[in-house]
Amino acid sequence: MNRAERETAVRRIMERTPPRVPPDLHADVLRRGGRMLRRRVLARRLMWLLLFAATVAFVVWAVTARPWVEPPSQTTPPLTSW
Amino acid sequence: MGQRHAAQSARRAAEFEAFVAGAGGRLLHTATLLTAEAPEDNPRARRLLTLALAHTYACWDRLRGEDPYDRARQYLATRFARGVWHHYGAFPRLRSHPGAPLARLGPQERLVLVLRLYEGVAEQQVAALLGMPMERVHAICDRATATLLHPPRRPATASVGAKVAPS
């Protein structure tokens, strides 16, 4: 028995008893798939909202704290009379 | 705009329904072979099939010309492979139905054999999908074929289970 014959025999064994497809399969799939889609959309929206909130918070903090301005010196007094 | 959107979603629903009608039977047969349940009593295979088709439905718009059948089959196979450890691992909770055609084989052997011979997926793709070297896929397929065609004398379910468990 060569390889091709063996494979054909195995295929025949596997194809012997096809199961019956349940009639409510499509409705079930739509229900589950729709739920999956809705969850994904919700998660995406939530992510964008979070990103937006983080950006706004950062901008507000940057404008109020101005981290790019050199802080006033604490150790040496400013030179005034030269 | 609204009308066009509605028409598009109606077309999408019709396409998906046609896909389910066409592919459902074959995918259910695949799933039943994988779970080694009886053809008329296959709750786990149905569950696998529903999950795979629901996943395909959820990414239907992002397929971009990819074959939806291929996508569903991939999901089915990986989902089954992930569940194998929980269902059949160190303490097998599920026994295969003695009337199923592949009842004599272990879950991994069933997976490889069904993908290779029933679904006709190439060896390289099976190897990539299951994350194992090609030689191993080849060896498992050969061993499963031999077990199926020349069943050992003694009841081999226990020894097959033990052989597959460590992987």
The per-residue pLDDT for range B13-48, each reduced to its tens digit, is 899 999 999 999 999 999 999 988 888 888 899 999
Helix axes B68-88, B43-58, angle to 10 degrees: 140
**CB-CB neighbors (< 8 A) of B51 in chain A:** 32
Pairwise CB contact (< 8 Å): B149 & A14: no
Residue A48 lies in a domain: yes
Site from A15, A25, A39, A42 to mutate, B interface, most B CB atoms within 10 angstroms: A25
**Do B84 and B108 contact (CB within 8 A), yes or no?**
yes
Task: Identify the domain containing residue A44 by its residue range.
Answer: 22-64
Pairwise CB contact (< 8 Å): A11 & B117: yes
pLDDT over 70 percentage in chain A: 100
Which pLDDT band, with edges at 50, 70 and 90, does B65 fall under?
confident
Quote the mean pLDDT of chain B.
Answer: 85
User: Coil, strand, or helix at residue B41?
Assistant: strand
Residue A77 lies in a domain: no
pLDDT surpasses 80 at B1: no
Selected from 3.40.190.10, 1.20.140.160, 3.40.50.300, 3.50.50.60, the CATH number assigned to the domain covering B24-149 reads 1.20.140.160
Residue A70 lies in a domain: no
CB nearest to B58's CB, from A11, A18, A37: A37
What ipTM was assigned to the predicted interfaces of this complex? Answer: 0.73
- At B146-160, the pLDDT tens digits run 998 888 765 545 444
Angle ∠(A21,A23,A27) on CA atoms, nearest 5: 115
How far from A28 is each of A38, B47, B139, B151, CA to CA, in Å? Answer: 15, 10, 38, 39
**CB-CB neighbors (< 8 A) of A33 in chain B:** 53-58
Pairwise CB contact (< 8 Å): A33 & B54: yes
Residue A26 lies in a domain: yes
Please give the full DSSP string across B136-154, using - where no structure is assigned: HHHHHHHHHHHHHHS--SS
**Do B56 and B71 contact (CB within 8 A), yes or no?**
yes
Q: Does A27 touch chain B (CB under 8 A)?
A: no
CB nearest to A29's CB, from B53, B113, B149: B53
Mean pLDDT of A18-47: 93
Pairwise CB contact (< 8 Å): B25 & A6: no
Residue A30 lies in a domain: yes
Considering its fold, how many domains does chain A have in total? 1
**Do B34 and B80 contact (CB within 8 A), yes or no?**
yes
Residue A50 lies in a domain: yes
DSSP summary character for residue B155: -
